[in-house]
Structure 1
Amino acid sequence: MAPKHQLDRLAIGLMVLFCSIWGVQQVAIKLANAGISPVWQAGLRSLGAAVLVFAWAWWRGVGLFSRDGTLWPGVLAGLLFAGEFGLLYWALEFTTASRGVIFLYTAPFMVALGAVWLLPQEHMRRAQWVGMALAFIGVLVLFGENLLRPSGMAWLGDLMIFAAAILWAATTLTVKATVLGRTAPEKTLLYQLVVSAAVLPGVAVLLGEPGVFAPTPVVWASLAFQTVVVAGASYLGWFWLIRHYPATRLSSFSFLTPVLGVVAGGVLLGEPLTLAVFVALGLVGLGIWLANRPAAR
């Protein structure tokens, strides 16, 4: 499929689906944390997903080992991916998830800023900046009060998650701006899964994590969901979208993820759904609409 300059119904539908999956992932991580330490969990997820994506690519006849100039960009993307998740999971030892969300979702702005230099064909209009800002305000409405209640070493965790956001944006830009953006999404994803599966267990050992310490059916089911649905299917779809659609427009949809994660927590875990949740959802939706509205002629 030829690259497109606007998001069509397929891209919008897939992004809403993926953001819903990534929101539910927050619940799955909480459930799996009861029996598997966080960085070990991320490493096991990458390892399992790498096996599945490799099998899928082999079945479809995707050429994974051809010399196509993707090796070093792929290794870079893999290291950025591993660093992002290593920092993200470790940071939650110091700060709260709700504070972390605010810093993590600065990433779409970094993608937009990086695109100014690396992706000049994806020029951001004023309405797009306003839309992204409005969506971010929606996230602040949901979680912003926690910014006013830091404790202990929260600043360190916040800084680590901000660094994870930079790595997340850098991964997206690396894929879009290099030959990875023109290769099969299976190969692009495998670079990241294989490198992170090799790196993250070592990070977990350095952090002194216990690994799998209390396995239960719920813990394994939560890990399986993260492996098959999140790191396998949804990430594969995400990199297919990055290959064919503007990264800046796709990134604006990521603001849906934390709000839908709170909704999923309310539905699946019985956590409270306050008025702020629905106000935030409305602001995020309006911001995404502004950011993706076609330019007036």
Structure 2
Amino acid sequence: MMSARRIPLLLIGAFAALYLIWGSTYLAIRIGVESWPPLMLAGVRFLIAGVLFYAWLRWRGVPSPSAREWRAAGLIGTLLLVGGNGGVSVAEHLGVASGVAALAVATMPLFALLFGLFWGQRARLLEWAGILLGLLGIVLLNLGSNLQASPLGAALLVFAAASWAFGSVWSRYLPLPAGPMASAAQMLVAGAVLLVLSPLTGERLTQMPSLAGWAVLAYLVVFGSIVAFSAYLYLLKTVRPAAATSYAYVNPVVAVLLGIFFAGERIVAAEWLAMLVIVGGVVLIGLPQWRRGQ
């Protein structure tokens, strides 16, 4: 009985972490890139989080990953955190509003379903309906002023969504380290890759970050990386990819509201309508999952 009760509570907690914490990270990144170069911010964030998480796990007696597991973790970490998070950070640095960035990343579940077909996964009718509804929302989103003002930012967000989706699906078939060690290994590798890419792309830290920049870094390390990313990897191993990636539909609500109230971002009518349509898609995507009782 205890076990049966713990599993639903753990699932609820994991989904809440993704929906609420990751929704807030879009605003945090926007504040952060005002003080940090975008790839450098992401690299420092994940390297610190990875070192802390790895050290804590080793102290608790968790074995270090094998060479095979390190390679798998490096591949997935690069797709999720370098391509995914790095792309979002650069797009926001280019001026895309944090709420609109979250809305654009909502294309990710569409890519996840398409990539899943390569591994023989079959999408249910309701999942396809939810994805199509989300795609309609993306079309509406592109009618707004934010993405039209930054075509490169829009392209980076689509790339970030595709990279994250491919890594999410592929992770189910690679020999990743067990449990939270997978998070630590992926963040360590991705942090190192991002910090190599930062100077190669011409990034330089011309002055020390502001107090807000340091505070944002701390928030992203602890909550955005260690807490939420671990919850995401847990869900990838527990539920279908379409459900695990459904946070991309809920994050925009949190991100848009935070951007309006705390950053003065302006969302036009087409973007509000896009948000309503996109959020509606998560209901359709989640129904098959919850009907199975998982």
Q: Does the TM-score normalized on the shorter chain lie above 0.5?
A: yes
Task: Please report how far the alpha carbon of residue 187 of structure 1 lies from its aligned counterpart in structure 2 after TM superposition.
Answer: 2.2
Q: Greater CA deviation, 217-226 or 184-193?
A: 184-193
Task: Please report how far the alpha carbon of residue 83 of structure 1 lies from its aligned counterpart in structure 2 after TM superposition.
Answer: 3.1
Secondary structure (helix, strand or coil) at the match of 1:293 reads helix
Task: Please report how far the alpha carbon of residue 75 of structure 1 lies from its aligned counterpart in structure 2 after TM superposition.
Answer: 2.1
Task: Please report how far the alpha carbon of residue 285 of structure 1 lies from its aligned counterpart in structure 2 after TM superposition.
Answer: 4.3
Q: Give the match for residue 292 of structure 1.
A: 286
Give 1:120-269 correspondences, 5 Å limit. 120=121, 123-138=122-137, 141=140, 143-146=141-144, 150-151=148-149, 154-180=150-176, 183-211=177-205, 213-269=207-263
User: What are the Cα deviations for residues 160-201 of structure 1, in whole angstroms up to 9, with x where unaligned?
Assistant: 332222211121012112222xx4232221232111221112
Secondary structure (helix, strand or coil) at the match of 2:143 reads helix
- Asked if the contact 1:45/1:223 (under 8 Å) is kept, the reply is yes
Cα distance between partner residues in 2 of 1:128 and 1:12:
20
Query: Identity percentage over the alignment?
Result: 26
The code of the aligned residue for 1:166 comes to: A
- Asked if the contact 1:19/1:256 (under 8 Å) is kept, the reply is yes
- Asked if the contact 2:36/2:213 (under 8 Å) is kept, the reply is yes
Q: Give the match for residue 25 of structure 1.
A: 25
Cα distance between partner residues in 2 of 1:172 and 1:113:
12
Q: Greater CA deviation, 56-65 or 24-33?
A: 56-65
Cα distance between partner residues in 2 of 1:251 and 1:185:
19
Cα distance between partner residues in 1 of 2:94 and 2:267:
25
Change (3 A) 1:71 1:105: same
Cα distance between partner residues in 2 of 1:291 and 1:195:
32
Q: Give the match for residue 118 of structure 2.
A: 117
Q: Give the match for residue 47 of structure 1.
A: 47
Task: Please report how far the alpha carbon of residue 36 of structure 1 lies from its aligned counterpart in structure 2 after TM superposition.
Answer: 1.4
Secondary structure (helix, strand or coil) at the match of 2:142 reads helix
Structure 1 unmatched runs, 5+: 1-6
Task: Please report how far the alpha carbon of residue 213 of structure 1 lies from its aligned counterpart in structure 2 after TM superposition.
Answer: 2.1
- Asked if the contact 1:256/1:281 (under 8 Å) is kept, the reply is no
Structure 2 unmatched runs, 5+: 1-6
User: What are the Cα deviations for residues 251-278 of structure 1, in whole angstroms up to 9, with x where unaligned?
Assistant: 1232111221011223333545777777
Q: Give the match for residue 78 of structure 2.
A: 79
User: What are the Cα deviations for residues 14-43 of structure 1, in whole angstroms up to 9, with x where unaligned?
Assistant: 323312211211111122222212111001
Q: Give the match for residue 106 of structure 2.
A: 105
- Asked if the contact 2:43/2:195 (under 8 Å) is kept, the reply is yes
- Asked if the contact 2:44/2:191 (under 8 Å) is kept, the reply is yes
Task: Please report how far the alpha carbon of residue 227 of structure 1 lies from its aligned counterpart in structure 2 after TM superposition.
Answer: 0.7
Q: Greater CA deviation, 130-139 or 26-35?
A: 130-139
**If the length of structure 1 is used for normalisation, what is the TM-score?**
0.81
Cα distance between partner residues in 2 of 1:164 and 1:158:
10
Cα distance between partner residues in 1 of 2:77 and 2:160:
14
Secondary structure (helix, strand or coil) at the match of 1:261 reads helix
The code of the aligned residue for 2:65 comes to: F
Task: Please report how far the alpha carbon of residue 234 of structure 1 lies from its aligned counterpart in structure 2 after TM superposition.
Answer: 0.6
Q: Give the match for residue 4 of structure 1.
A: none
Cα distance between partner residues in 2 of 1:224 and 1:99:
24
Change (3 A) 1:130 1:176: same
Change (3 A) 1:36 1:149: closer
Task: Please report how far the alpha carbon of residue 12 of structure 1 lies from its aligned counterpart in structure 2 after TM superposition.
Answer: 4.4
The code of the aligned residue for 1:77 comes to: I
The code of the aligned residue for 1:70 comes to: E
- Asked if the contact 2:23/2:255 (under 8 Å) is kept, the reply is yes
Secondary structure (helix, strand or coil) at the match of 2:165 reads helix
Cα distance between partner residues in 2 of 1:155 and 1:266:
22
Secondary structure (helix, strand or coil) at the match of 2:216 reads helix
The code of the aligned residue for 1:228 comes to: V
